[in-house]
């Protein structure tokens, strides 16, 4: 295809994809199937790869992510990003209404909206294109999260209709509750730390460095505040501005009410107090705003917040009940968590029987006694917590709760590491939940990917005495497996103290599949085997860097601490943890067995020692036709080195589109050659 035809087709596809996106994510009325949508996206990406010069920054292809943000740069807000006065009492709302009436007069209309519980974002549009997305930051400047925000499908990259030439719109990025539960379930299965609530998950996700991972997560966004320079104001009220913004393609809630009396405002507050539990996302209150923009201007701002708006926050729901007992649970890392058993009580629509007690300090702070009457609260967190003890109702003879000294599973004496709140069972190699946890990590998707085994099957094999560590998996025979059957109880990660009961049985096919996938796993590359070992602090990325640096397990064993910390991404803590692991004879023995089973414990160097870039150091900056990461990989592959900032030792600045002028200046000053992507390909031939 010639470039003019490609340009036309790209424009066509972009427009259609934008329209279908709007139909699906804003109107919830898709006109085509997901498959058709994916096919169009694929065609667009293919064309853009073929003609990188035709990629527009607001192309729908940006939705799939790909670019890596090393550090989020900070930029000033065009309009300061203020917050709202908070109140928990109705009196304060009445005071607010009276204050407003006193300075404006009695004829006032208010808008009541939901107060979304997520992460505030400010979007800047120019000529209908999303140009920049910033976090709140300190209110005057925020972090640039544009690349990640572009992956949120309900945020339009290009607008339709009659929009102002340049404006900002503010909103809240949030994690829908269902997606949040799925995310945590997947993290639990991989032995990763769980997010405490959807807000934390949203905050963590929007600051991920890998935008394609953000694209895989299901973030969403509500917009609630339009800001333009006065000259381009076309409307008189906040309500109107939101209705207009909806027409341009923004996701604006329908749960907005125009209220002219105090009663109407309280009705809105009361209605949502209960109904909020049925929403598919979290809200933590109601926002009340003066509707007229002229009146808003008259009222103005204090240093921190507008005088024309206030937030009413719902109290976390709480209930009183009796403490029946305390269980101690051991997690995969050996950390022991106390869990309260409660007299069942109804709270925010569910029956609560257990509550987390966090750690020993928490129990001591509450001075908790058995049979105390305690207050349980369900805030943003899914797991209810105990917030208070009613001392007046305490039985004089009741005994105080004492934190266990021994592991409830293997009876080993617990230890407490300096500076940490948790007590640990140090018997890492012999404590059942810790062993099972390690094996579960070993088989997980991003590690050895042994799909036909799961938590239940691991538990069964362990209980039958067939496996005591990952190496034992490779000794399993058909005879071992066939016919095994058991009812398994596993702790429910999302509901501490509760158990999930399921029946596990190994029929002919299951046994065969397990052996087959174990055999398959022997091809898994070295870096994933390293990750699978479960060395503390060695995640997927570190494992990869480590494998690329040492190339084999034997080399890793003989690497000094200094060699390890010289590896990208490996600091003192990780290096110490690696050495600790690799010096332990128990681990060495297991590695020997895994080696004998045929797992990959070395890899070939991808680096050409006498490659064309041998000894040359590069700084890569800007946007390219391929991801920056893949260019950096190429540099290393051909013998070069990546460095993060320009210095006299830099040999080349590989410059893409949108590179900051400061960098260019600096390179010129230092006399460093600036090369384009094309020049780079010529260099490596």
Which stretch in 114-122, 388-396, 497-505, 527-535 sits in contact with ligand IVH by CB under 6 A? 114-122
Query: Does residue number 172 form part of the binding site for ligand IVH (CB under 6 A)?
Result: yes
Closer by beta carbon to ligand IVH, 96 or else 638: 96
Rounded to a whole number of angstroms, the minimum distance from the CB of residue 224 to ligand IVH is 4
Whole-angstrom distance, CA of residue 559 vs CA of residue 556: 5
91 phi, psi to nearest 5 deg: -60, -40
Restricting to residues 279-298, name those near ligand IVH by CB under 6 A. Answer: 287
Closer by beta carbon to ligand IVH, 224 or else 328: 224
DSSP letters along 44-87, please?
HHHHHHH-GGG--TT-GGGGG---B-SSPPEEE-SS------EE
Closer by beta carbon to ligand IVH, 167 or else 442: 167
Beta-carbon contacts of residue 241 (< 8 Å; ≥ 6 apart): 226, 235, 293
Query: Does residue number 82 form part of the binding site for ligand IVH (CB under 6 A)?
Result: yes
Rounded to a whole number of angstroms, the minimum distance from the CB of residue 358 to ligand IVH is 27
What is residue 131's DSSP assignment?
A: E
Beta-carbon contacts of residue 560 (< 8 Å; ≥ 6 apart): none
Rounded to a whole number of angstroms, the minimum distance from the CB of residue 215 to ligand IVH is 23
What is residue 144's DSSP assignment?
A: B
Whole-angstrom distance, CA of residue 200 vs CA of residue 204: 6
User: Given the structure tokens 């029929």, which residue do they identify?
Assistant: 507
Rounded to a whole number of angstroms, the minimum distance from the CB of residue 284 to ligand IVH is 8
Which of 84, 242, 518, 574 contacts ligand IVH by CB under 6 A?
Answer: 84
Closer by beta carbon to ligand IVH, 120 or else 556: 120
Which stretch in 43-51, 77-85, 557-565, 664-672 sits in contact with ligand IVH by CB under 6 A? 77-85
Query: Does residue number 149 form part of the binding site for ligand IVH (CB under 6 A)?
Result: no
Residue 101 known to be catalytic: no
Rounded to a whole number of angstroms, the minimum distance from the CB of residue 274 to ligand IVH is 19
Closer by beta carbon to ligand IVH, 48 or else 282: 282
Q: Where are the alpha helices (DSSP H) in 156-310?
A: 177-189, 198-206, 211-216, 238-248, 262-275, 293-299
Query: Does residue number 113 form part of the binding site for ligand IVH (CB under 6 A)?
Result: yes
Beta-carbon contacts of residue 504 (< 8 Å; ≥ 6 apart): 456, 457, 459, 460, 484, 485, 486, 487, 488
Query: Does residue number 120 form part of the binding site for ligand IVH (CB under 6 A)?
Result: yes
Q: Which of 115, 289, 436, 438 is catalytic?
A: 115
Q: Is 125 exposed, middle or buried (0-12, 13-18, 19+ CB in 10 A)?
A: buried
Closer by beta carbon to ligand IVH, 199 or else 528: 199
Which stretch in 9-17, 25-33, 110-118, 634-642 sits in contact with ligand IVH by CB under 6 A? 110-118
Six-digit token string for 305: 């917040």
Whole-angstrom distance, CA of residue 592 vs CA of residue 533: 13
Query: Does residue number 225 form part of the binding site for ligand IVH (CB under 6 A)?
Result: yes
Cα 638 off chain centre by? 34
Restricting to residues 185-224, name those near ligand IVH by CB under 6 A. Answer: 224
Query: Does residue number 110 form part of the binding site for ligand IVH (CB under 6 A)?
Result: no
Query: Does residue number 227 form part of the binding site for ligand IVH (CB under 6 A)?
Result: no
Rounded to a whole number of angstroms, the minimum distance from the CB of residue 121 to ligand IVH is 8
Which of 20, 77, 115, 158 contacts ligand IVH by CB under 6 A?
Answer: 115
Nearest CA-CA partner of 568 in 618, 634, 650, 642: 642
Beta-carbon contacts of residue 477 (< 8 Å; ≥ 6 apart): 515
Whole-angstrom distance, CA of residue 381 vs CA of residue 269: 22
DSSP letters along 482-530, please?
TT-EEEEEEE-TTSTT-EEEEEEE--HHHHHHHHHHHHHGGGS-HHHHH
Query: Does residue number 174 form part of the binding site for ligand IVH (CB under 6 A)?
Result: no
Rounded to a whole number of angstroms, the minimum distance from the CB of residue 23 to ligand IVH is 25
Rounded to a whole number of angstroms, the minimum distance from the CB of residue 146 to ligand IVH is 18
3-state SS class at 678: helix
Restricting to residues 308-367, name those near ligand IVH by CB under 6 A. Answer: 311
> Considering CB under 6 A, how many residues would be counted as binding ligand IVH?
14
Nearest CA-CA partner of 522 in 595, 458, 462, 591: 595
Restricting to residues 617-676, name those near ligand IVH by CB under 6 A. Answer: none
Q: Enumerate binding residues for ligand IVH (CB under 6 A).
A: 82-84, 113-116, 120, 172, 224-225, 287, 306, 311
Catalytic residues: 115
């Amino acid at each position: 295809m010639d470039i003019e035809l490609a340009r036309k087709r790209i424009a066509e596809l972009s427009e259609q994809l934008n329209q279908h996106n709007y139909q699906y994510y804003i109107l919830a009325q898709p006109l085509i199937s997901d498959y058709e949508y994916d096919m169009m996206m694929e065609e667009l990406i293919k064309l853009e790869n073929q003609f990188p010069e035709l990629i527009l920054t607001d192309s729908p292809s940006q939705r799939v992510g790909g670019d890596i943000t090393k550090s989020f740069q900070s930029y000033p807000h065009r309009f300061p990003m203020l917050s709202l006065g908070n109140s928990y009492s109705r009196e304060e709302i009445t005071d607010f209404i009276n204050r407003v009436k006193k300075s404006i007069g009695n004829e006032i209309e208010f808008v009541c909206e939901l107060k979304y519980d997520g992460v505030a974002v400010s979007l800047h549009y120019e000529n209908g294109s999303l140009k920049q997305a910033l976090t709140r930051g300190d209110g005057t400047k925020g972090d640039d999260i544009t690349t990640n925000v572009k992956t949120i499908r309900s945020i339009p990259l290009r607008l339709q209709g009659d929009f102002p030439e340049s404006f900002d719109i503010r909103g809240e990025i949030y994690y829908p509750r269902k997606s949040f539960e799925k995310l945590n379930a997947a993290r639990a299965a991989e032995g990763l730390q769980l997010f405490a609530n959807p807000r934390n998950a949203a905050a963590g996700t929007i600051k991920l460095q890998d935008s394609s991972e953000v694209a895989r997560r299901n973030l969403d966004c509500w917009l609630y505040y339009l800001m333009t320079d006065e000259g381009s104001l076309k409307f008189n009220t906040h309500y109107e501005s939101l209705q207009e913004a909806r027409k341009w393609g923004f996701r604006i809630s329908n749960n907005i009410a125009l209220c002219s009396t105090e009663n109407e405002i309280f009705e809105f507050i009361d209605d949502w107090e209960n109904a909020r539990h049925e929403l598919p996302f979290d809200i933590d209150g109601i926002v009340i705003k003066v509707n007229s923009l002229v009146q808003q201007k008259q009222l103005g701002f204090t240093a921190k917040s507008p005088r024309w708006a206030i937030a009413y926050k719902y109290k976390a729901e709480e209930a009183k009940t009796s403490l029946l007992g305390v269980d101690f649970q051991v997690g995969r890392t050996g950390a022991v968590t106390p869990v309260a058993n409660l007299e069942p009580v109804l709270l925010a629509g569910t029956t609560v029987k257990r509550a987390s007690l966090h750690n020993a300090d928490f129990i001591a702070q509450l001075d908790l006694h058995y049979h105390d009457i305690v207050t349980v609260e369900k805030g943003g967190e899914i797991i209810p917590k105990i917030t208070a003890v009613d001392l007046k109702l305490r039985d004089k003879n009741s005994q105080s709760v004492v934190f266990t000294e021994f592991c409830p599973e293997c009876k080993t004496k617990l230890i407490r590491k300096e500076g940490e709140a948790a007590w640990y069972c140090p018997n890492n190699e012999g404590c059942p939940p810790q062993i099972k946890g390690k094996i579960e990590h070993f088989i997980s998707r991003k590690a050895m990917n042994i799909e036909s085994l799961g938590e239940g099957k691991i538990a069964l094999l362990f209980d039958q005495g067939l496996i005591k560590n990952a190496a034992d998996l490779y000794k399993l025979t058909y005879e071992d497996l066939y016919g095994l059957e058991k009812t398994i109880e596993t702790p429910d990660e999302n509901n501490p103290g509760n158990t999930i009961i399921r029946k596990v049985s190994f029929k002919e096919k299951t046994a065969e599949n397990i052996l087959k996938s174990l055999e398959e796993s022997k091809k898994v590359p070295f870096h994933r085997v390293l990750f699978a070992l479960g060395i503390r602090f060695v995640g997927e990325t570190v494992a990869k860097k480590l494998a690329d640096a040492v190339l084999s397990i034997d080399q890793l064993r003989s690497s000094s601490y200094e060699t390890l910390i010289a590896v990208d991404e490996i600091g003192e803590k990780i290096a110490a943890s690696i050495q600790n692991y690799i010096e332990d004879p128990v681990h060495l023995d297991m590695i020997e067995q895994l080696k004998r089973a045929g797992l990959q414990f070395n890899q070939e160097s991808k680096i050409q020692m006498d490659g064309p870039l041998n000894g040359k150091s590069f700084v890569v900056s800007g946007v390219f036709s391929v991801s920056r990461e893949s260019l950096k990989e190429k540099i290393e592959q051909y013998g070069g080195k990546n460095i993060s900032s320009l210095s006299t030792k830099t040999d080349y600045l590989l410059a893409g589109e949108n590179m900051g002028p400061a960098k260019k200046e600096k390179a010129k000053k230092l006399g460093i050659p600036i090369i384009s992507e094309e020049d780079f390909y010529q260099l490596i031939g």
